[in-house]
Structure 1
């Protein structure tokens, strides 16, 4: 009998869902039956990627950002009781799913309630240290408390000095059973001819995704080169609009996105960790615009700049002239790492 594995990514932008795609493919290759559980855009995206797999809708955390970045931490704090309630509902539902679907293992990407005490449960995160300014110690401690309920913590990065997460994914002491599984990306690098001067790749929670979309559409209207603009809005049908030099998509499936990224000279995007993994895999030049108030993205953008890999700027400061800075940066480096999923999945083979 094939073993059933529940794979549950958080619906916070599209990164958690997209980095689960190579894991789902690996589960299929190793003769497991993946069952996908999520909500919102993350679930919609994975349903498009894997139309034949069974999916289940989980309670939503409904995480939204503030319009002003400096209010983000306050807004998350005020929303904490509602998020905790969603986590409890999620855990109760996970226990029911394990029973009714005879689940043999769980892989949760940042869904705190998606675990079961009688079933091998894995938590995926790139943040063992959760950056939140002067409350980093507290957010890290709370994060660790939740992850301790899982059997293993998988970090999609290397344990070597050449890594992508920096201090977020590497700490000197941790009570967690941590395994570094290498960067995860659904893409492959190809030697495509360049079709676009710039590709804008958006995602992330509202309202900041929309705020950046409006700003960049306005800026790129006066750009002389060819621009591919992907809004990152998952809708029932793919929509394509052409306005002058701009070709605008609401979303792209993995196959088209891979081709488009390979065929683009420069990528403008949020420095979300999944985006970093994808661009590193493809060895792309990039310009990053961190989400206002999100300490993780601000740290990653600064780290990429300090390593002379990619420049960045604050959202309100972006102009087309800023893109000229990319000529002084090397672009993201490909980290060669082959995840040993056969060995990682051995946890699920135990009786």
Structure 2
């Protein structure tokens, strides 16, 4: 009775790979609980999900065309300049979703930060770890705007703990609100495994261009000076996996979830962006890390500073980073391992309907 399964659209934002990767456990649970997930995104986020779930139907959504500035100072200006494109994409999403509900008999929607992917006709969930969207002096406006969109959804799932200790701090917690919030606990597609350590350092890159490439170029020079074995995952999703060896460094262009799980578990420490999806993975696996936030991305800078202040992990600005900074990692205690069982059956009752 394959066709009796309820179709649920899962639509992550294509902004780096984080939104798509944290949807992986959700897609797995939908399948386990007898739903039929339909994937929807654009660009590398969609490619990545298609590699993970080649058996699932995949649909293309309009791109938000988020371009990153080449330097930090222009970051906000670039976003403002791009906002008309973004607004167009959100309006297009709404039209497309209306059509898809009829065409694919959708019974529910899970949108990870795609603001136009919702409908009043069916239950819709919004996933975000940012109820407050930090943008410097305009934080008040960007946060209010984001909350205005969140209100349009049936529920908002926050992949964090409601009380302290938590991973998001002021990003994912409001003093007062009228939103239908559900703190579901951190999401990770990875499991902690007891494997022998093969690498002294794992470098994993992520996030949008051109900053991903800038960091890759910088770290390629730095890791040559590292005394130990390095696994370097570039985070560029391509048709075929490529593996290169350069003295003490093993390079991969990308890895599947299963390969990444092994790689994390076999590495002593991790050098990475302070993107929230990576943060949740590190917390789950109990790995110590050094963070390099994406220049100009207020949210990553806030998280990196907060983790340093709380004694969890050190960080450095991209331009300042030197490989010898990694010796500080042992002085920090690592991210808190927040144990919370996600009650998927309870969460997914929302889509049971009649």
| TM-score (ref. length: structure 2) | 0.98
1:61-94 deviation line (CA, Å, top 9, x unaligned): 1212101111101100011001100111111111
Residue 127 of structure 2 corresponds to which residue in structure 1? 124
Q: Which of 115, 132, 135 is the equivalent residue of 2:138?
A: 135
Shift of 1:172: 1.2
Give me the whole-angstrom Cα distance separating, in 1, the residues matched to 2:315 and 2:67: 23
Residue 247 of structure 1 corresponds to which residue in structure 2? 250
Residue 68 of structure 2 corresponds to which residue in structure 1? 65
Residue 54 of structure 1 corresponds to which residue in structure 2? 57
Residue 192 of structure 1 corresponds to which residue in structure 2? 195
Consecutive unaligned residues of structure 1, counting only runs of 5 or more, are none
3-state SS, counterpart of residue 227 of structure 2 = coil
The ranges of structure 1 where at least 4 consecutive aligned residues each deviate by more than 4 angstroms after the TM superposition are none
Give me the whole-angstrom Cα distance separating, in 2, the residues matched to 1:62 and 1:210: 18
Give me the whole-angstrom Cα distance separating, in 1, the residues matched to 2:147 and 2:312: 31
Give me the whole-angstrom Cα distance separating, in 1, the residues matched to 2:333 and 2:339: 17
Residue 327 of structure 2 corresponds to which residue in structure 1? 324
Shift of 1:95: 1.1
Give me the whole-angstrom Cα distance separating, in 1, the residues matched to 2:37 and 2:221: 42
Q: Which of 69, 77, 81 is the equivalent residue of 1:74?
A: 77
Is the 2:65–2:82 Cα contact (8 Å) retained in structure 1?
no
Residue 167 of structure 1 corresponds to which residue in structure 2? 170
Give me the whole-angstrom Cα distance separating, in 2, the residues matched to 1:259 and 1:7: 26
3-state SS, counterpart of residue 200 of structure 1 = strand
Q: Which of 2, 11, 30 is the equivalent residue of 2:14?
A: 11
Residue 205 of structure 2 corresponds to which residue in structure 1? 202
Give me the whole-angstrom Cα distance separating, in 2, the residues matched to 1:281 and 1:167: 21
**Two-structure CA RMSD over aligned residues (Å):** 0.8
3-state SS, counterpart of residue 39 of structure 2 = strand
1:160-198 deviation line (CA, Å, top 9, x unaligned): 211101111111111211000100000110111110011
Residue 108 of structure 1 corresponds to which residue in structure 2? 111
Give me the whole-angstrom Cα distance separating, in 2, the residues matched to 1:64 and 1:240: 29
Residue 179 of structure 1 corresponds to which residue in structure 2? 182
1:274-321 deviation line (CA, Å, top 9, x unaligned): 000000000000000001111100000011101111100100000011
Q: Which of 292, 297, 303 is the equivalent residue of 1:294?
A: 297
